[in-house]
Every structure is written in structure tokens, then in C-alpha cells.
């Protein structure tokens, strides 16, 4: 079983799901939940179906709002609903990606039911978001691990995971970049209904959930910095974390006031998003894709604030505070010819070739089922 809850994780999970479908000895049950089922966030279950997948289950869990209390209730409700599903379907292994609170809840239900978990992208660090501890909790519940880089693989072992359960397969985003047929610029402009798009910035900003503060000031600083540039602006909207809806309202209001140069989308879909990343002059915001995927294009990136703090940062990424002047300085540096030339030769720490999904499917197929079902031993690295 694969569980997907957002546009972001499905963009990464899609090639894995396809590979599992096409691997002898494996069969796929796809469970769709989270913001995929919300009109306010683009009802992106339609993208999954357009990709040719028919969900085995669609479970609506987003009923309680997105503040702290709503998030806690969503976690409790998700555990209840996925306990029912996992007890009924009983997969041999549950494949989960990342660090969302709803995925943490799914993992909790699976662990209580002794359903083995395989976890993609464990071992990362993002100190500016509560995702950080959700991710580590999922890793400790997981039986097998697919980290995206060597640093993350080592960190999982540091967390006590047995080395023979940790497989550094590289980043799925980088596999997508190599395998997805990207759109030519004129087709991208037609799809976005945005003539003369270049030069433009690709912008995604999410709440910094560790702050437990309103993101209003951060967004005002970002908009103020963008006003000082001549770039066209393509926004992809925020996720369902506390503060995400406020960000989305502010983005809509900003785009309405700047309609000649700014447009916002709930979801660009994988092909349009990666195509936009190819042609953009700069990626701005605090999305993980700005850190993990842009090195493959050599795209200048301005990473704002602490949400991605702790990830391995390639040389194409400029990290700034949330202050207006710092953001503006970062954007101006990113747009400079000197920095653009430097980005062309960046080393990509998340690139492990173009066979990440194939490696995941083969390991899942060949990993001894009995070992998956047995309890783990804490790997103590003391003295090593």
C-alpha cells in the first residue's frame, strides 16, 4: 500500500507507484487522503486519476481545521480511519514518504497493527517545521528506509537504525527531472495563460510551523521584496499547515493587485512545475523542492527562513532570513550573471542516477518478508 496526502508527495511517489505496478511479484493498493480531496487545495485526486491510477481508497480526514487543535484532531481521526483501512486491506508493507502529520498518523496506525513500514526521505533535518520530528518518529516506526542522500542515510544509522535496512537510493525528484518530458517554453506559456513569461520567479512559501506565529509579516516582507524586482511571478500555493490558508489568501490578493505580472496556482502538476523550474530565473520561498530539486537544473534559488534549515544545501541555494532587505539582497544575488554561471556547475548531493524508483521497487520485492515483520534491533554506534 502507498498512501499519498498532498500534491507534493504524489509528484515524488508517482514513478514508484508505476514501477511497483510493473514489477513482477508486487501489486499496488493506492490510498488517497489529505488535501488531495479538498477543493480549496485543488482537488488534486484528479491529477492522480489523470496519471492512470485508480485509488483503492479515498479517505477524507481534513474535517477539523488547520490550527494546532485542528491538527491534533486530524491526527487522531486519521489514526482511527486508517486503522479501519489497514485492518481490512492488511498490506504486506506500507510505503510512506516524508514528514507530514497525517502521514505520521498513518504510520502510527500501521505500527499498532504490526504492518511493516518502508519510509522514503527519512533522515533529513528541517528545524523550522514540526515535520522534523514527525519524520524522525516515522523513521523509528519503519522497518526499511530509502533516504535521499548520504548525509540522511548516516543520520538514520545515528538514530539507531540497522545499516542493512538503510538504502541510499537518491532523490525521487531528481529521477523525475531526468525522466519526465518537459514542456517547451511556448507550451508552458500557453498552459499557464501567461504570454512573455520570461523572466519570471517561481515562488512557493509555507508556514514555519515551529514558530507557532502568523506568517503574515513574512509574506508582507516577501511581497515587498518582489515589488522591487521586474520579474513576472508564478506562485504555487501553500500546504495545509497552520497558517497555510492565510498565506493563500494573501497570495490571491497580491496577484489580484498585480494581475499583469503575477499568477497563482493550487497545483501546477509535475510536468508544468518541473518545466517552470527549468525556465525560471530564480526559485524563491521555503519549499523542499527549492533545496532538493533545483540543483539538478542549476537553477538559482533563494531559500527563506528556517523551514529547510538542516538539509544539505547545494551551492545554487542562497539562504536568507525573512527580513525584506535580506530577501531582496538574496534575489538580486541570484539574478546576477556571476551567480548564474556558478550555478551551472553545481554538485547535486541528491542525484543517485535515474533509477531511484526502480531500486525502491526491487528492494521491496527482494527484502525478506520475515525480516520486515520481525522487531528491529537498535544499532548502537558507540565506539565506532
Classify residue 177: in a domain, yes or no. Answer: no
Clarify whether residues 333 and 364 are in a common domain.
no
Entry pTM: 0.82
pLDDT tens-digit series, residues 222-240: 999 999 999 999 999 998 7
Classify residue 81: in a domain, yes or no. Answer: yes
Clarify whether residues 145 and 271 are in a common domain.
no
Clarify whether residues 359 and 217 are in a common domain.
no
Domain enclosing residue 314, as ranges: 184-343
CATH number, domain containing residue 81: 3.40.50.2000
Clarify whether residues 192 and 243 are in a common domain.
yes
Residue 374: Cβ-neighbour burial (10 angstroms; 0-12, 13-18, 19+): exposed
pLDDT of residue 171 exceeding 90, the answer is no
Clarify whether residues 31 and 167 are in a common domain.
yes
Query: Edge to edge, what strands does the sheet with 30-33 contain?
Result: 57-59, 30-33, 2-4, 94-97, 117-120, 144-146
Cα separation, 340 vs 299, in Å, equals 8
Classify residue 304: in a domain, yes or no. Answer: yes
Clarify whether residues 8 and 114 are in a common domain.
yes
Q: What 3-state class would DSSP assign to 304? A: strand
Cα separation, 148 vs 143, in Å, equals 17
Classify residue 179: in a domain, yes or no. Answer: no
Q: CB neighbours of 132 closer than 8 A, spacing ≥ 6? A: 99, 125, 126, 210, 310
pLDDT tens-digit series, residues 358-384: 999 999 999 998 888 888 889 998 755
Classify residue 253: in a domain, yes or no. Answer: yes
Among 66, 25, 24, 123, residue whose Cα is nearest residue 238: 66
pLDDT tens-digit series, residues 260-294: 999 999 989 889 999 999 999 999 999 989 998 99
- CB of 1 closer than 8 Å to CB of 16: no
Clarify whether residues 141 and 224 are in a common domain.
no
Helix axes 7-21, 356-366, angle to 10 degrees: 60
Domain count, the chain: 2
pLDDT tens-digit series, residues 326-359: 999 999 999 999 999 999 889 887 776 668 999 9
Clarify whether residues 190 and 333 are in a common domain.
yes
Clarify whether residues 276 and 212 are in a common domain.
yes
Classify residue 383: in a domain, yes or no. Answer: no
Which parts of 227-286 are beta strand (E)?
232-236, 262-265, 282-285
* Mean pLDDT across the chain: 92
Classify residue 379: in a domain, yes or no. Answer: no
Clarify whether residues 143 and 194 are in a common domain.
no
Banded model confidence at residue 253, pLDDT cuts 50, 70, 90: very high
Clarify whether residues 128 and 19 are in a common domain.
yes
Classify residue 384: in a domain, yes or no. Answer: no
Clarify whether residues 191 and 332 are in a common domain.
yes
pLDDT of residue 211 exceeding 80, the answer is no
Amino acid at each position: 500500500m502507498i498512501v499519498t496526502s498532498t500534491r507534493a508527495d504524489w509528484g515524488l511517489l508517482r514513478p514508484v507507484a508505476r514501477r511497483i505496478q510493473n514489477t513482477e511479484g508486487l501489486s499496488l493498493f493506492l490510498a488517497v487522503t489529505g488535501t488531495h480531496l479538498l477543493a480549496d487545495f485543488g482537488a488534486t485526486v484528479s491529477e492522480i486519476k489523470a496519471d492512470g491510477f485508480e485509488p483503492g481508497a479515498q479517505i477524507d480526514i481534513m474535517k477539523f481545521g488547520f490550527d494546532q487543535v485542528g491538527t491534533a484532531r486530524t491526527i487522531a481521526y486519521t489514526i482511527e480511519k486508517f486503522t479501519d483501512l489497514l485492518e481490512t486491506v492488511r498490506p504486506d508493507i506500507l510505503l510512506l514518504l516524508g514528514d507530514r502529520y497525517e502521514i505520521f498518523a498513518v504510520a502510527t496506525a500501521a505500527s499498532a497493527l504490526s504492518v511493516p513500514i518502508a519510509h522514503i526521505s527519512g533522515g533529513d533535518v528541517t528545524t523550522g517545521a514540526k515535520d522534523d520530528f514527525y519524520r524522525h518518529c516515522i523513521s523509528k516506526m519503519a522497518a526499511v528506509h530509502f533516504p535521499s542522500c548520504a548525509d540522511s542515510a548516516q543520520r538514520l544509522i545515528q538514530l539507531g537504525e540497522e545499516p542493512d535496512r538503510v538504502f541510499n537510493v537518491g532523490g525521487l525528484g531528481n529521477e523525475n527531472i531526468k525522466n519526465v518530458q518537459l514542456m517547451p517554453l511556448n507550451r508552458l506559456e500557453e498552459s499557464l495563460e501567461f504570454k512573455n513569461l520570461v523572466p519570471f520567479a517561481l515562488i512557493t512559501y509555507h508556514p514555519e510551523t515551529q514558530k507557532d506565529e502568523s506568517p503574515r509579516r513574512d509574506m508582507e516582507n516577501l511581497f515587498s521584496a518582489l515589488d522591487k524586482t521586474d520579474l513576472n511571478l508564478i506562485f504555487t500555493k501553500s500546504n495545509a499547515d497552520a497558517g497555510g490558508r492565510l498565506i493563500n489568501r494573501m497570495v490571491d490578493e497580491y496577484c489580484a493587485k498585480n494581475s499583469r505580472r503575477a499568477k497563482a496556482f493550487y497545483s501546477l502538476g509535475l510536468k508544468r512545475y518541473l518545466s517552470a523550474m527549468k525556465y525560471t530565473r530564480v526559485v524563491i520561498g521555503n519549499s523542499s523542492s527549492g533545496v532538493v530539486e533545483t540543483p539538478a537544473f542549476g537553477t538559482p534559488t533563494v531559500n527563506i527562513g528556517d523551514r529547510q534549515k538542516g538539509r544539505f544545501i547545494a551551492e545554487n541555494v542562497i539562504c536568507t532570513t525573512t527580513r525584506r532587505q535580506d530577501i531582496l539582497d538574496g534575489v538580486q544575488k541570484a539574478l546576477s550573471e556571476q551567480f548564474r554561471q556558478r550555478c551551472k556547475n553545481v554538485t547535486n548531493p541528491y542525484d543517485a542516477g535515474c533509477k531511484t524508483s526502480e531500486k525502491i521497487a526491487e528492494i521491496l520485492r527482494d527484502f525478506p518478508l520475515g525480516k520486515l515483520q520481525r522487531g528491529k534491533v537498535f544499532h548502537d554506534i558507540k565506539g565506532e
